[in-house]
Amino acid sequence: MSKPKPSFTPWAKPAAAALFGLAFAGSAAAAPKLCGLDNGKPATGAPIIVGAVVGKTGPDDFSSSARTAKAYFDCVNANGGIHGRPIQYLIEDDQWKPEVAGQVASKLVKDRGVVALVGNGSFVEMTVNAKLYEQQNVAVVASACAVRECFEAKNIASTNQGPVPSNISAVQWGVQHLGSKKVACIGLNIPSNGVWSCNLTNEWLKDKGLQGVSVLMDPGAPDANSALLEAVASGADTMLVSLPAGLAQAFLKAAQEQDLRDKYKWISPTPLYKEGIPQALGAYWAGKVHIAIELTPWNGTGPDAKRWRAVMDKYAAKSDPRDTFSEAGFVSANIFVDTLLKMDPKKIDRANVTAALKAVKNYRSDLLCGPWYFGNADFHQANHASQMVVAEKDGFKSETGCFDVTGKYFDKIRAMEKAEHLTGN
């Protein structure tokens, strides 16, 4: 419980502390490292205003990333803040409506003058607000992105993967370990989500000489049966269930009704890695559904994973989910705090923060499978390495360690990473 953090990881705090000559090492030995300066002194200076736009009310609740970031910021504020300045974190709900997303982003960026947005998680806001963020020169370290526009906007970079790497990682593993030859990509018929990710997945398969078929369903459809039957009719041997958790579970339930489990191989991107899914799927599916997860497992033993759980236990509500988005929110918040701690506290304004965030490179955390960066390009897909887990009767079991995704789509990204030295090579 109160074990001191083992060794200082090379990427953050000691350098910053030394740079500003704080008595960091002295107080460090006494208490476990949790967040920020870890000096136990509440921050009381001029607040630094940070925002977040999340889709809370609506078809799904994407707010866990922001709630985790809030817990982390509360911890930081109780431990010296950003060199004495507390973070004032404003979370806005876009209610899954583009109009409202535009309104609340305007409120945060123009009315409240936030220096950055951290922990955004939404299906709609990135599309609507990307231009606003660019025009107002505000950077967004998002955590729960699901649509194309989030990954192809100048000022938005997310710590989560999104559907494309997640889909392709699952398929890549399936091809290697399950012998998949023809994959049915079951996704939503939303152009910037299901259509985009399934198209790229099919292209990846084609490049390998295999086959991929898209089976797109309307998220408002009353039942998953026709999607299931269409997938069956496609002649695939593997089902890639690339749907949000609720729909994915309904899809698998429909498959169970037809007793199709042993006729196909079942793989999925991250959304099924959610608390309650193993129980909802039941014993029938135990050991059969292989999920590619975007960040490391919730019961990880690395220092950041332990910090994450400790911060959540201490500063978050019991009902706040400890899921993948929460991990991503934690990482986003850490990146933000670590970046700001390196800055002159008197010069923390939007322009400087944006420049500093965009300069983040080779950020490592045991919650991520690979190094993270923001970068200056028009697209940001730093997180593209995954792990596989499988749903068992009472929970999830890890199947692999971290592996990176391959393919033509990512070669372009890797070339850029290399050219700009974003990942430490």
Partner 1 sequence: MRDSLAGRLGDRRLLAGFALAIVAIAVVPPLLNSLWLRVMLSSVIFTIAATGTALLYARLGLVSLAQVALVGVGGWVTLRMWHATGLPFELNMLVAGAVSALVGMLVGLPALRMRGLYLAIITLMAAAGFQILVTGTQFPNGGSGWLGIAVNSIFMPRPRFGHSDEAMLRYASVVALLCFGLVAWARHSRPGRAWALIRKSEACAMAAGVNVALYKAWGFAIAGFLAGIAGALLAGTIGVLDATTFPASESILLFALTVVGGAYSALGQVLTGLLFRAAPALLNDWGVDGNLAYALFGIGLLHALITAPQGIAGQILDGLARLRRPRSER
Partner 2 sequence: MYGVFFVTGLAMGALYALSGVGLVVLYRCTGVLNLAYGALGAAGAMLAWQLEQWAYPEPVAWAAALAVATLLSFVYGRFLAPRLAFREPVIKAVATLGFALVILGILNYFWVEAPRRLSLSTDDLGLRMLGVRITGTRVLVVMATLLMTLGITLFLNRTRIGLLMRALASQRDLASMLGVPVGRVEATAWLISGLLAGFTGLMFGDLVRPNPGALTFLVIPAMAAAVVGRLQSLSLTLAGGLVIGVAESMATLVHPIAAYRSATPFIVATLLLLWLQRKRRLTFSGQD
The site for partner 2 (CB under 8 A) is made up of 57-61, 189, 216, 218, 220-223, 225-226, 229-230, 233, 245-250, 253, 257-259, 274-277, 280-282
* 9, 27, 88, 106: residue in contact with partner 1 (rule CB under 8 A): 106
| Per-residue CA distances from 111 to 78, 103, 108 (Å) | 27, 11, 6
Residue length, the chain? 425
CA pair distance 305, 286, nearest whole angstrom: 26
111 scored as a contact of partner 1 (CB under 8 A): yes
Residue 406 three-state SS: coil
Binding to partner 1 in span 372-391, by CB under 8 A: none
Closer to partner 2 by Cβ: residue 248 or 356: 248
Cβ 137 vs Cβ 307: under 8 Å:
no
Q: Hey, how many other C-beta atoms are within 10 angstroms of the C-beta on 151?
A: 25
Element (H, E) at 129: helix 125-135
Contact between 223 and partner 1 per CB under 8 A? no
Interacting stretch for partner 1, rule CB under 8 A, among 43-51, 146-154, 294-302, 407-415?
Answer: 146-154
Give the span between the Cα atoms of 358 and 84, in whole angstroms.
Answer: 24
Q: Which of 9, 20, 88, 97 binds partner 1 (CB under 8 A)?
A: 97
191 binds, among partner 1, partner 2, none (CB under 5 to 8 A by kind): partner 1
Q: Are the CB atoms for 354 and 329 separated by under 8 Å?
A: no
Residues 361, 102 contacting (CB under 8 angstroms): no
70 makes contact, choosing from partner 1, partner 2, none, with CB < 5 to 8 Å by partner type, with none
In whole angstroms, the minimum distance from the beta carbon of 417 to partner 1 comes to 22
60 in contact with partner 1 (CB under 8 A): no
* Residue 383 · residue 372 · CB < 8 Å: yes
User: What residue 276 binds from partner 1, partner 2, none (CB within 5 to 8 A, per partner kind)?
Assistant: partner 2
134 or 392, CB closer to partner 1? 134
**For residues 414 and 381, is the Cβ–Cβ distance under 8 A?**
no
DSSP string, 74-106: HHHHHTTTBTTBPEEEEEEE-TT-HHHHHHHHH
Could you give the dihedral angle defined by the CA atoms of residues 308, 309, 311 and 316, in that order, rounded to the nearest 10 degrees?
Answer: 120
Q: Which does 364 bind (CB under 5 to 8 A by kind): partner 1, partner 2, none?
A: none
- CA 214-121-141 angle, 5° bins: 110
Give which of 10, 1, 89 is closest to 43, Cα–Cα.
89
From candidates 77, 79, 95, 161, binder to partner 1 by CB under 8 A = 95
258 binds, among partner 2, partner 1, none (CB under 5 to 8 A by kind): partner 2
**Minimum gap (Å) between residue 223 Cβ and partner 1:** 15
Q: Is residue 98 near partner 1 by the rule CB under 8 A? A: yes
Smallest gap from residue 218 Cβ to partner 1 (A): 6
Pattern 16-55, partner 1, x by CB under 8 A: ----------------------------------------
Identity of the residue, 126 or 391, whose beta carbon is nearer to partner 1 in the bound complex: 126
Residues that bind partner 1 (CB under 8 A): 56-58, 92-93, 95-100, 102-104, 106-107, 109-111, 124, 127-128, 131, 148-149, 152, 189-192, 196, 218, 220
